[in-house]
Structure 1
């Protein structure tokens, strides 16, 4: 069996491990347009600020690929997929055949339509190559503007601020609105401002302004002009579905997959930030661009490519990150378009930057936001993920910040003991 994986993010690692769990001998080939094996993308801000070295970035050691008999074509781009002939055409002119194909092509940074965005001095921050380019600049610039509201924007800002650069984040609405409510966002902003990062929230970006020689002068916003030597555009990432569309594989907001991570072509699978896969809580099919889901989807794709016939149980919306020592986490239903049917319990201590918001639906915990004190995060997650029924006492203890495993159902605890 010839397995080919296009992309080299954490989904690829999951797929390798899934394949080898069921098939020890099939040929596995990874094709990636990046020059390096899979690395920890959330770590690139620490690499930018010199907190970690390059050799700490790899997600698995080199021996992992050798032990699992994995071949790699790095720095190679797939131009097209021929599903009838089961071949890929590479930019080198080489044709590669497959029996089972995984598209783990990730996401592409969004490029907002605005004057001045094309040209030198404007950067993205999603790959180690982006971090390398910025490392060459970080000690030579004084002012940086980051355009964006999400995790990538905040981590890019932190990477520069750690090096003493003047950083301003321009946000069209408010930060991290996908995962955090206004109170949580305020606590994060307050904490980052204390560490020197400036924010312009509810601010639109009109243009990137350049000097006569093309170098960056600054950013024109609807609240005035902001000077900058470099601009980081972190305005979101969209699924990289080009190959799927070219091959006439079904797409929507991402590459559509079934419960076995297979696409509309039964020999082509998709996983990670490009896949529109099942959500554990809602049962809907959606794109959840986060690392734990990407790994899990890759693993199930690998298992099923190898014939294991194991359905993916679904991903969980989750975000966990630390900003200058302030730990934050959100899990499950935290960004409600409609509050109907949901109830919330809130604890807030602004002085200590501690916030706990629990979202209940009927007699279950549906989501949580934790800022500052995240010690119980794993236990809260277990209640959300497993859909445990809560009586009044259990709900009271969760609301008081005591999500003890003693509240787990007896049958769940027994099952854990029986299946360690």
Structure 2
């Protein structure tokens, strides 16, 4: 039986960060990475840009072959970790191979939700989160000369997928079960601006409904919505969310909610097993609870903490909060933290210009910034992100937060040293 001091199930942001952390402390211990996909670590946020033709496949890699060679990582690609025995410290792969570990990191990410809609087995029905998804959709568009598509889901994945299809000159309709797009990320005003931009580029949006049936004999010919409306189309893409790949942990007896439950060191409930990234539930420093925060920087940070602690260090994960920065059909948007509170205990500062598609909203609680939305103009957003992190009291200058020239100069001198200008956020 093969033995490896460190075994990592998964090969995305959390896995890469864990490898880097491990090698900072341990140059000799064997590292084995197991990945269901056949690729080196690649940048999932670029998948929609690949479909749109904005980037080519050469730009997709997050880490190249030299990275794995430099850090002496043994890669097992195209095979999945399917079973864990915490008692025996063994991981079983889909090819039947077993690997004995000393420390294990589960960084298996998530799987797109694929509803049991009638007709979902027809050719032309896809999900869209992976490199292979991009290849399949691209090939189908070319071979079937797709002119009209339906995207089910108006969240970030759905809108970025829609943007890619628009770039391919495909007419499309977005179907969203909620009453607006980006309902989990934005407030009503922000969603309205995004919808206005989408309509400007020819996208139709149908809210408060979903697809009840996909029509066609062998391939997609249309859909019927739950409200009875029929739409002709040649392709359907489901983008209604991602489910954490936590079954392997649940089957091994680890504590699992939606994701794998972790502590402040990214440890699971089983000795010597850690979890990080989209599969993990970790501390949300704003809400004060453990939950999934499925964004790239958080996955990387969690992986770095897990990797360090796998070597025997004692590093703490201080917690993160929701952050998304995405451009939608040329409209830049950022949302950070709590953006649409219903509790009257929150204070709202905002500036809105619907004609220019510009919106700035700052959410305060007890004179501390806890959330923000930026649409159209997103410069200086990093300052607000850092105010949330540092829990800075803005009571003496909160009336200046909406000023176009707001910056470090507005801060009391003792606070300036805590701030980092222009810190970026990427989904």
Match of 1:371 in 2: 375
The runs of at least 4 aligned residues of structure 1 exceeding 6 Å deviation read none
The one-character-per-residue Cα deviations of 1:241-279 (angstroms, maximum 9, x if unpaired) are 110011101001210000000000120000111111001
Give the TM-score normalised by structure 2.
Answer: 0.93
Name which of 165, 175, 178 aligns with 2:181: 175
* Corresponding pairs, count: 413
The alignment status of 1:114 with 2:111, answered yes or no, reads no
The whole-number CA distance in structure 2 between the counterparts of 1:50 and 1:65 is 28
Residues 12-42 of structure 1 show CA distances to partners (whole Å, capped at 9, x for unaligned) of 1111122122222221111000010111111
1:144 equivalent in structure 2: 149
Distance apart, 1:408 and its partner CA: 4.3
Instruction: Name 2:424's counterpart in structure 1.
Output: none
Match of 1:80 in 2: 83
* C-alpha contact 2:105 2:273 (8 A) present in aligned 1: yes
Q: Taking structure 1 as the reference length, what is the TM-score of the superposition?
A: 0.95
* Root mean square deviation, CA, Å: 1.6
Q: Counterpart of 1:192?
A: 198
- The residue aligned with 1:358 is 362
Alignment CA distance shift 1:400-1:33 (3 Å): same
Note the residue ranges of structure 2 that are not aligned, 5 or more in a row: 421-427
The answer to whether the 8 Å contact 2:323/2:335 transfers is: yes
Q: Is the 8 Å Cα contact of residues 354 and 371 (structure 1) preserved in structure 2?
A: yes
Shift of 1:400: 2.4
TM-fit CA distance, 1:331: 0.4
Distance 1:71 1:412, change over 3 A: farther
Q: Distance in 1 between matches of 2:78 and 2:404?
A: 49
CA distance in 2, matches of 1:277, 1:4: 21
> What's the offset of the Cα at 1:339?
2.0
Which SS does the other structure have where 1:137 is aligned?
helix
Please state how far the C-alpha of 1:324 moved relative to its aligned partner.
2.1
Shift of 1:323: 1.4
Q: CA deviation at 1:335?
A: 3.5
Aligned residue number for residue 43 of structure 1: 46
Name the residue aligned to 1:380: 384
1:305 equivalent in alignment to 2:310: yes
Q: Structure 2: how far apart are the matches of 1:414 and 1:125?
A: 42
Q: Which residue of 2 aligns with 1:339?
A: 343
Q: Is structure 2 residue 286 aligned with structure 1 residue 275? A: no
Q: Does 1:209 align with 2:234?
A: no
Query: What secondary structure is seen at the aligned counterpart in 2 of 1:273?
Result: helix
Query: What's the CA shift string for 1:276-307, capped at 9, x where partnerless?
Result: 10012222101111111111111111111111
Q: Which runs of 5+ in 1 are unaligned?
A: none
**Corresponding residue for 2:244?**
239
